[in-house]
């Protein structure tokens, strides 16, 4: 395995959870709902995935549990914001805090146990191809799922009728409602999808990235996923690019350090965040681009009979 290939693989592992969680949140926001609880749903996915994989010995069952846990947790958010019409920002923040606390409690007995790691693909001949073999044919299944998910979300949002309806709900829920579109039901489904994605991203963390459970192991990755959605100005392909850019900068700075390049490590560690801020500033300068893609009803409450 060449160094180039090795770095590429590490970047993919670092980018995958960000990509999956951000894709889920993108669909949620496209439907007009702002769920700031990504970090909380992610960490719930991580603990559920680890716990089930540890008890059953199957990483796949763990991954399914992670998805279900994320979705179930998002249902709580859906019930509060869509049925009881609470403030979405406050509810999302509460979801994150609750998730961090609850996962620590649930996971207490799983701390310090080596986990079950999801095995990487190994296809004879193809995996051994020089330079790209490992990257294209030798990664863990979640990597391929993340790429398929990107394609799926693009296809769904922009090529299907259901995707068009979802975007219409996000842009103007009153008009959509007057046309007989079930706004609340669509938003529930979007929130559930977002939760499932966040859960899967959490499962990737505790079953692929670092096969262990420790409190707060998401370490802010849910927030980065949220930033990526804005960074990508609500376009799925740009999320893919953003996640890999973020991954590349964070891994690149570690390699630069190991090579002994004399740049202060504190500066290097802040590079990924600096890059995100710069791109966000550049995007928000372009008014037309932002307006074109921002779901107009984002974060606004909707009560059907109004």
- Note the residues at the interface with another protein (CB under 8 A): 3, 6-7, 10, 14, 104, 107-108, 111-114, 117, 205, 209-212, 214-217, 219, 221, 250-251, 254-255, 257-260, 262, 264-266, 269
Minimal distance, residue 244 CB to another protein, in Å: 14
Q: In the complex, what is the shortest distance from the CB of residue 255 to another protein, in angstroms, rounded to a whole number?
A: 5
Taking the least distance from each CB to another protein, the nearer of 117 and 300 is 117
- Could you identify the residue written with the tokens 């920002």? 89
Helix axes 3-30, 183-204, angle to 10 degrees: 160
Token pair in block for residue 89: 């920002």
Asked whether the beta carbons of 20 and 66 are under 8 A apart, the reply is: no
**Measured from the CB of residue 170, what is the shortest distance to another protein in angstroms?**
32
Q: Which is nearer to another protein, 181 or 214 (CB)?
A: 214
Residue closer to another protein by CB (options 185, 255) is 255
CA atoms within 13 A on the CB side of 186: 25
Nearer to another protein, 4 or 237 (CB): 4
Comparing CB distances to another protein, the nearer of 108 and 128 is 108
CB of 115 to another protein, least distance (A): 8
Q: Which residues contact 85 (CB under 8 A, 6 or more apart)?
A: 301, 302, 303
User: Please, which residue, 32 or 49, has the CB nearer to another protein?
Assistant: 49
Short-list 109, 135, 132, CA closest to 120: 135
Distance CA 85, CA 166 (A): 19
Distance set, CA 114 to CA 66, 206, 210, 213, 215 (Å) = 18, 10, 10, 8, 14
Closest CA to 294 of 38, 26, 88, 90: 26
User: What's the min distance (Å) between Cβ of 12 and another protein?
Assistant: 12
CB of 107 vs another protein, minimal distance in Å: 8
């Amino acid at each position: 395995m060449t160094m180039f290939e090795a770095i590429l693989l590490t970047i993919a592992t670092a980018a995958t959870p960000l990509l999956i969680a951000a894709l889920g949140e993108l669909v949620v926001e496209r439907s007009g709902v702002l769920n700031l609880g990504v970090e909380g749903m992610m960490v719930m996915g991580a603990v559920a995935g680890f716990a089930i994989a540890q008890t059953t010995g199957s990483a796949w069952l763990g991954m399914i549990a992670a998805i279900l846990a994320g979705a179930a947790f998002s249902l709580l958010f859906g019930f509060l914001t869509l049925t009881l019409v609470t403030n979405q920002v406050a509810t999302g923040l509460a979801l994150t805090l609750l998730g961090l606390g609850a996962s620590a409690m649930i996971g207490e007995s799983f701390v310090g146990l080596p986990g079950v790691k999801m095995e990487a693909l190994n296809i004879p001949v193809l995996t051994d191809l020089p330079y790209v073999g490992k990257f294209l044919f030798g990664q863990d299944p979640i990597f391929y799922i993340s790429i398929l998910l990107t394609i799926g979300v693009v296809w769904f949002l922009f090529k299907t009728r259901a995707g068009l309806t979802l975007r219409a709900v996000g842009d103007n829920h009153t008009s959509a409602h007057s046309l007989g579109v079930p706004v609340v039901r669509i938003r529930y489904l979007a929130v559930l999808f977002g939760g499932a994605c966040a859960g899967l991203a959490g499962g990737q963390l505790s079953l692929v990235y670092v096969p262990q459970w420790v409190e707060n192991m998401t370490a802010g990755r849910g927030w980065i996923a949220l930033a990526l959605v804005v960074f990508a100005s609500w376009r799925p392909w740009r999320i893919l690019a953003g996640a890999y850019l973020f991954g590349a900068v964070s891994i690149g700075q570690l390699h630069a350090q190991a090579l002994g390049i004399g740049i202060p490590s504190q500066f290097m560690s802040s590079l990924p965040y600096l890059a995100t801020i710069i791109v966000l500033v550049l995007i928000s300068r372009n008014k037309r681009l932002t307006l074109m893609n921002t779901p107009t009803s984002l974060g606004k409450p909707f009560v059907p009979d109004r």
